[in-house]
Amino acid sequence: MTVIDVHKDHDTHSMTITAEFDASVADVWQLWADPRLLERWWGPPTYPATFVDHHLTPDGSVTYFMTGPEGDQHHGWWRVTAVAAPHSLEFDDGFADDAGTPNPDMPVTTTKVSLTGHPDGGTRMLITSRFPSLAAMEQLVAMGMEEGLVAAMGQMDALLAA
């Protein structure tokens, strides 16, 4: 399992997931930078993702949907705020309707991805999600955000080994 820790901080309304990989920073970065690779791990195994737009540049947009086992689709979006390839990525992350329009009734999280190398060639990845409030954090965690991200990230090792 790639995920070694999940830490929720109620005071800062944040959740940080730590994962380690037996792969270089550049290889782990490609799992974010290549939309076809991102599709193979972003959703939990039973909710694979399809990326429609994928522009990892400041002010760039990413749109996607995840398809459930019954064919149901759940749309999302990112607004990229910072990129320092291959070490970090920051974006706002939210829910959308079928047309890709952001859903104003759902919380938007601010996500920071950080990749650091180890002397042995491995990589540590931190994904920190900040929520607008404790209530928003509790809402998204109750909806399965933690379990979904951990399951999704569990697919990364196989991609890196291929």
Q: Is 138 exposed, middle or buried (0-12, 13-18, 19+ CB in 10 A)?
A: middle
pLDDT, residue 124, reads: 96
- Regarding the domain with residue range 3-144, which homologous superfamily does it belong to in the CATH classification? START domain (3.30.530.20)
Of the pLDDT bands very low, low, confident and very high (cuts 50, 70, 90), residue 162 is confident
pTM (predicted TM-score) = 0.93
10's tokens: 């109620």
Q: Dihedral angle at the C-alpha atoms of 49, 94, 138, 45, nearest 10 degrees?
A: 0
How much is the mean pLDDT over the chain? 95
pLDDT at residue 1 tops 80? no
Mean pLDDT of 143-148: 93
pLDDT, residue 121, reads: 83
pLDDT, residue 23, reads: 94
pLDDT, residue 125, reads: 97
pLDDT at residue 75 tops 70? yes
Domain boundaries, the chain: 3-144
